[in-house]
Amino acid sequence: MTDTTAPLWPAPTAAAPVDATVALPGSKSITNRALVLAALADRPSLVRYPLLARDTRLMLEALRTLGAGIETEADAVRVTPGPVRGDAAVDTGLAGTVMRFVPPVAALASGDVRFDGDAQARLRPMGTVLDALRVLGVSIDDGGRGVLPFTVAGTGAVPGGDVTIDASASSQFVSGLLLSAPRYDKGVTIHHDGRPVPSQPHIDMTVAMLRERGVEVDDATANTWRVEPGAVRAVDAVVEPDLSNAAPFLAAALLTGGTVRVPRWPSATTQPGAQLRDLLARMGAGVSLDDGVLTVRGTGTVLGLDADLHDVGELTPVLAALAAVASTPSRLRGIAHLRGHETDRLAALAAEINGLGGDVTETEDGLAIRPAPLRAGVFRSYADHRMAQAGAVLGLVVPGVEVEDIATTSKTLADFPGMWSALLGAEPTA
Ligand SMILES: O=C(O)C1=C[C@@H](OP(=O)(O)O)[C@@H](O)[C@H](O)C1
Ligand SMILES: C=C(OP(=O)(O)O)C(=O)O
């Protein structure tokens, strides 16, 4: 769905190579995991440098509604766990992490918890999570539809146990169950049966964050995860910068032949955005990491990319935008599951890049993108933050691109337009 009443944002073209240092806010994925685990923990804790954007504010509100104490301090959120409360309503917005991570928490409530979200959220796959919770002993009324809205009927405890799911449509089905599993009476063992699970780094992130809090997790067998029941230890967490949100800024360096530096870039991380180092280098960038600062330099060449993005699907929109202005063809593979993201991202990218004169075809599991001269036009964002970012990236080198609903970027960045202006304002004035 697209907001046809939203104003058009004239995407600025780069008058010169960019030269900027971009400090990125916290990772959406780490923030929302840290908040859920803090709400389920054995005592209060701090989540430091959290992302404060729509998806994480929805998570804060959901956990507050379910009984956690939430206090926002300078650069931190203090979370005080409490008994999970029923007779509550949770707004998921369009956040996959809220709609997949919070129902397993609500299953611990004493009473009903109703879930609903944006109109577009009602299209995102949920049935696997709901069916799994039923197998683990939870009663849920979804009217037989397997999507939002639905009601989780908590009884104050969840038996837990063994469940087999098909998580090929989203790794979040696995992560959501794992995060609450230590609080279920028998813990949880998940077996995946189906095509490969996408976004493995995000599952690794879930497992690592559980272990950091003293939870016993066995992931030694492929496609099986076992979480033992037990306390979730409260830890003060430091949230890394959101490396996936680095993508449009780093892309600007590549496209304009400029330089972009991102401080606090972790040397080791489970974030999929870490793979931008390799992916952008393959597209022609000079990439270096020194003293925690990632530097990406454009060399004046943007090469096409042939890559399997199954593990790093959320990088696709920006990489597709780069590929659309590359000098050689690209194949982006392994990303059929993007059809269930904020919007059908494969259809949306093909439609919007082609709308500017591009040459993109959808394949069964991705996109084939061939070089073509692009022209001015409207780039629709379909309420998808990363589509809007892709439009901004194209606008750097294609004069006259207007991005519809740039405000949708607030899903994971409080002020993307401001950051984008600062990026361009930092051009050397030579
Ligand atoms: O667990 C997470 O934090 C995420 C997992 C991934 O979901 P999918 O596995 O559905 O792609 C990713 O695309 C999303 O942006 C965030
Ligand atoms: C797929 C994404 O988000 P969500 O967490 O809503 O699934 C994304 O941010 O690219």
Alpha-carbon gap, residue 356 to 348, rounded angstroms: 13
**184 and 261 part of one domain:** no
**263 and 407 part of one domain:** yes
pLDDT of res. 6: 77
Q: What is the pLDDT of residues 52-100, one digit of tens each?
A: 999 999 999 999 999 999 999 989 999 999 999 999 999 999 999 999 9
Tell me the pairing of strands 401-404 and 8-10: antiparallel
**Residue 235 belongs to a domain:** no
Query: Mapped to the 3 state alphabet, what secondary structure does 2-23 carry?
Result: CCCCCCEEECCCCCCCCEEECC
- Ligand 1 contact, 29 CB (< 6 A): yes
Tell me the pairing of strands 45-48 and 237-238: parallel
170 labeled part of a ligand binding site: yes
**Residue 237 belongs to a domain:** no
**Protein residue with least CA distance to atom 3, ligand 2:** 96
**287 and 413 part of one domain:** yes
User: Which among 193, 228, 263 is the end of a domain?
Assistant: 228
**Residue 406 belongs to a domain:** yes
**213 and 254 part of one domain:** no
pLDDT of res. 7: 87
Compute, in angstroms, the gap from residue 342 CA to the centroid of ligand 2.
Answer: 6
- Ligand 1 contact, 386 CB (< 6 A): no
Query: Given the CA of residue 100, which atom of ligand 1 is nearest to it?
Result: 1
What CATH number has the domain bearing residue 209?
3.65.10.10
**Residue 233 belongs to a domain:** no
**Cβ pair 253, 259 in contact under 8 A:** yes
**288 and 343 part of one domain:** yes
DSSP summary character for residue 83:
P
**How many domains does the chain fold into?**
2
**Protein residue with least CA distance to atom 4, ligand 2:** 96
Partner residues linked to 241 by β-bridges:
26
pLDDT of res. 3: 55
Partner residues linked to 331 by β-bridges:
306, 368
Alpha-carbon gap, residue 277 to 158, rounded angstroms: 42
327 labeled part of a ligand binding site: no
Cβ-based neighbours of 217, under 8 Å, separated by 6 or more:
178, 207, 210, 211, 225, 226, 227, 228
**20 and 88 part of one domain:** no
Q: Which of 94, 170, 192, 209, when mutated, tests ligand 1's pocket best, judged by the most ligand atoms within 8 Å of its CB?
A: 170
Alpha-carbon gap, residue 311 to 308, rounded angstroms: 8
**Protein residue with least CA distance to atom 13, ligand 1:** 314
- 3-class secondary-structure state, position 286: strand
Q: Which of 58, 342, 410, 412, when mutated, tests ligand 2's pocket best, judged by the most ligand atoms within 8 Å of its CB?
A: 342
**183 and 305 part of one domain:** no
**251 and 374 part of one domain:** yes
- Ligand 2 contact, 97 CB (< 6 A): yes
**166 and 205 part of one domain:** yes
Angle formed at CA 196 by CA 193 and CA 198, multiple of 5 degrees: 120
**Residue 192 belongs to a domain:** yes
User: Which among 173, 197, 228 is the end of a domain?
Assistant: 228
Taking residue 429's Cβ as centre, other Cβ atoms within 10 Å add up to: 5
**Residue 234 belongs to a domain:** no
Q: Which residues are catalytic?
A: 314
**Helix (H) / strand (E) containing 35:** helix 28-39
Note the ligand closest to the C-alpha atom of 318. Answer: 2
- Ligand 1 contact, 27 CB (< 6 A): no
- Ligand 1 contact, 204 CB (< 6 A): no
Tell me the pairing of strands 188-192 and 224-227: antiparallel
Domain of 345?
A: 8-25+242-425
- Mean pLDDT per block of 10 residues along the chain (430 residues) reads 74 96 98 98 98 98 98 96 97 98 98 97 97 98 97 97 98 98 98 98 98 98 98 97 98 98 98 98 98 95 97 98 98 97 97 98 98 98 98 98 98 98 68
**Residue 124 belongs to a domain:** yes
User: Which among 161, 193, 228 is the end of a domain?
Assistant: 228
**145 and 276 part of one domain:** no
**179 and 299 part of one domain:** no
Compute, in angstroms, the gap from residue 300 CA to the centroid of ligand 1.
Answer: 32
**Protein residue with least CA distance to atom 3, ligand 1:** 29
- Helices and strands counted in the chain (H then E): 12, 23
**Helix (H) / strand (E) containing 254:** helix 247-256
The ipTM assigned to this model is: 0.99
- 3-class secondary-structure state, position 223: coil
Taking Cα atoms as reference points, which of 186, 130, 190, 132 lies closest to residue 158? 186
**101 and 116 part of one domain:** yes
**Residue 2 belongs to a domain:** no
Compute, in angstroms, the gap from residue 110 CA to the centroid of ligand 1.
Answer: 29
